[in-house]
Structure formats: structure tokens, C-alpha cells
């Protein structure tokens, strides 16, 4: 009888254990849990319970080559220094470390932001053309047009560098003899680089003691010994006293050149009896 009772108990225990192992997850008690949680071990001395699996405890999973995130991602960090989010692509010699941004708009809305060759760059949607470039010295390069309001000039008192807007290229006064009356002659010259320049000039004509003077002309030209077109040169016509000096200021002339170019101060004097000399001054202001 005892053996029969023991056999029945063993069979019942076996059936209970088997049923417990095979029960579907739908029969687990969800009390105390929230959506997305799983059963997490709390150690060898306490019972497991519902909870979230810490990322630090996930092992054995290979990193995803191209993970996709949906929704907004928020990264909070109270660190005073160090990396909050690091993107390392130092071995990518084709485009460096790049972030691809897809925006709105019907025409090429996508852009890349990247660090390449030590420069912070914005690149077009095809990842083929740099549309802005910033180096470690703060030099910003834009192939297009900069539109801005309230660009502040320098307050340091330092002169702009030779290639900067506002830089000045000038030739000090130099005196030459006017060899022939009523003939164009170069009085002085300067060389300007590629860009847009406003050129001004000043000439002081000095007649000898017996020289008679009837006309004085001066202007700026990129062609040697050639006066500019009408409206771009100054002219005085009169019967000037002998042994007199007369000053002539040329109109401001804008010159747009694509390479290093020589700019001439061209003068002309109509005089007789004796000799004439001229002292010329050129000044070029870069405006673009």
C-alpha cells in the first residue's frame, strides 16, 4: 500500500514538473511588470523579477553595420569634458567622418556634414562638391555668394591683408619729365592682383620758368601710354602762367581683372617754349 501511494505521488510530481516547464509564456503572471520588460535575474540569492535589461549586460551580439533609429534620439551628458558622441572615421580617406542629413524640399534636399583633411565641410547631396569649408584658423571658404546683414569691420586698427577687401596698393609720388607736348606718357604704375579695384590718382604738373602751358590731362589705364575713355580722365584747358605748378585729380575708376595687372597713370600736357615735369601718385583700393 505504501509503495502504491509513493508511486502515485512520484507520478503526480512528474506530471506537475512537466506541466510547469511546458507552460506557454501567456500563462506567466504579469503582475508588477510594464510593457517591454522581461524576467531579469537579480542574483543567486534572490528571486528573479520583471525589469529592463541594462545595455552593459548585453553580451555576445555583433554590432550592427547600418543601424536604423526611428523617432527622436536624446543624449544627456553631465560630463565637463570628454566625448558625448564620437564618430571616428579616420581610416576613411575618401570622405572622412561624415553625417548624412535628409531635409525637406523637392530639389536636392540632402547634404553631408563632414570632417575631411582637417577641415569642417558642408558637401552637396551627391557628396561630390564642397559648398562651405572651415579650417582650424577660422578661415571660411564659400564658392557661392555670402548674404549677410551687419558685417562688422575690424576695430584693431590693423590694415587688411593684401588679399582682403579693403586692402590698399599704392605708388608714392614719382617725378618724370614730359618729353613731348600733346603726347600720352606713363607717369607711374602699380600692379594689382586679381579682383575688383577702385583706382584714384593725382598729378602735379610743374612748368619751367619760360614754359607756356595750354592743357593738362591725366587718367588711369591698364594699357600703357593710353588715356582711358571720356569721363574717366581729368582735363584742364587754359593759358596757364609760366613757371606755375598745377594739380590734377583723376576720377575714381573701377577696374576688374582676373590676373596680376599693371595699372598706369597716364598724363598728357600741351606746352611750349621750354620743359614740363609731372609727379604722379596712384592708389588702388580692393573692393571685391
- The tens digit of pLDDT for each residue in 4-57 reads 555 555 555 555 444 444 456 666 777 778 887 888 887 888 888 888 776 566
If we measure between CA atoms, which residue out of 215, 177, 180, 201 comes closest to residue 255?
A: 201
Q: At 187, which CATH number? A: 2.60.120.760
Regarding whether 280 and 202 lie in a shared domain, the answer is yes
pLDDT > 70? residue 87: yes
Q: Which residues contact 210 (CB under 8 A, 6 or more apart)?
A: 242, 243, 273, 274
Regarding whether 179 and 130 lie in a shared domain, the answer is no
- Residue 55 belongs to some domain of the structure: no
| Cell numbers for 102 | 535628409
- Residue 36 belongs to some domain of the structure: no
- Residue 183 belongs to some domain of the structure: yes
**Tens-place pLDDT, residues 229-270:** 988 999 999 999 988 899 999 999 999 999 999 999 999 999
Q: What percent of the chain has pLDDT over 90?
A: 52
Instruction: Residue 172: give the domain boundaries.
Output: 168-286
- Residue 154 belongs to some domain of the structure: no
Regarding whether 172 and 274 lie in a shared domain, the answer is yes
- Residue 68 belongs to some domain of the structure: no
Starting at the edge strand found earlier in the chain, the sheet holding 212-221 runs 185-192, 261-272, 212-221, 233-240
pLDDT of residue 21: 44
Regarding whether 273 and 179 lie in a shared domain, the answer is yes
Q: How many domains does the chain have?
A: 2
Regarding whether 207 and 136 lie in a shared domain, the answer is no
As a whole number, the mean pLDDT across the chain is 85
pLDDT > 50? residue 90: yes
Regarding whether 224 and 124 lie in a shared domain, the answer is no
Q: What percent of the chain has pLDDT over 70?
A: 86
Regarding whether 200 and 137 lie in a shared domain, the answer is no
pLDDT of residue 12: 53
Split at pLDDT 50, 70, 90, the class of 171 is confident
More confident residue, 122 or 85: 122
- Residue 232 belongs to some domain of the structure: yes
Regarding whether 121 and 175 lie in a shared domain, the answer is no
Report phi then psi at 28, rounded to 5. -70, 145
Regarding whether 209 and 126 lie in a shared domain, the answer is no
Regarding whether 183 and 125 lie in a shared domain, the answer is no
Regarding whether 281 and 180 lie in a shared domain, the answer is yes
pLDDT of residue 10: 54
- Residue 12 belongs to some domain of the structure: no
More confident residue, 2 or 75: 75
Regarding whether 105 and 210 lie in a shared domain, the answer is no
- Residue 90 belongs to some domain of the structure: no
User: Where are the strands (E) in 38-180, listed by range?
Assistant: 38-40, 49-51, 97-102, 110-116, 119-123, 130-134, 140-141, 168-178
**Tens-place pLDDT, residues 151-166:** 888 888 888 888 888 9
Amino acid at each position: 500500500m505504501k509503495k502504491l501511494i509513493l508511486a502515485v505521488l512520484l507520478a503526480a510530481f512528474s506530471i506537475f514538473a512537466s506541466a510547469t516547464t511546458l507552460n506557454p509564456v501567456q500563462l506567466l503572471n504579469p503582475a508588477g511588470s510594464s510593457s517591454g520588460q522581461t524576467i531579469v535575474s537579480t542574483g543567486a540569492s534572490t528571486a528573479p523579477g520583471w525589469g529592463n535589461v541594462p545595455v552593459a549586460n548585453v553580451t555576445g551580439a555583433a554590432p550592427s553595420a547600418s543601424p536604423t533609429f526611428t523617432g527622436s534620439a536624446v543624449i544627456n551628458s553631465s560630463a565637463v569634458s570628454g566625448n558625448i558622441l564620437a564618430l571616428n572615421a579616420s581610416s576613411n580617406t575618401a570622405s572622412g567622418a561624415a553625417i548624412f542629413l535628409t531635409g525637406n524640399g523637392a530639389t536636392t534636399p540632402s547634404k553631408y556634414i563632414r570632417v575631411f583633411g582637417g577641415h569642417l565641410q558642408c558637401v552637396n547631396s551627391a557628396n561630390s562638391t564642397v559648398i562651405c569649408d572651415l579650417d582650424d584658423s577660422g578661415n571660411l571658404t564659400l564658392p557661392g555668394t555670402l548674404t549677410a546683414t551687419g558685417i562688422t569691420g575690424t576695430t584693431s586698427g590693423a590694415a587688411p591683408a593684401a588679399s582682403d577687401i579693403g586692402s590698399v596698393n599704392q605708388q608714392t609720388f614719382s617725378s618724370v619729365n614730359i618729353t613731348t607736348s600733346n603726347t600720352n606718357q606713363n607717369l607711374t604704375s602699380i600692379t594689382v592682383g586679381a579682383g575688383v579695384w577702385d583706382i584714384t590718382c593725382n598729378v602735379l604738373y610743374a612748368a619751367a620758368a619760360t614754359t607756356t602751358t595750354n592743357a593738362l590731362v591725366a587718367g588711369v589705364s591698364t594699357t600703357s601710354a593710353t588715356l582711358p575713355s571720356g569721363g574717366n580722365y581729368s582735363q584742364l584747358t587754359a593759358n596757364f602762367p609760366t613757371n606755375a605748378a598745377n594739380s590734377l585729380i583723376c576720377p575714381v575708376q573701377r577696374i576688374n581683372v582676373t590676373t596680376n595687372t599693371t595699372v598706369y597713370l597716364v598724363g598728357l600736357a600741351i606746352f611750349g617754349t621750354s620743359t614740363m615735369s609731372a609727379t604722379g601718385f596712384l592708389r588702388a583700393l580692393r573692393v571685391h
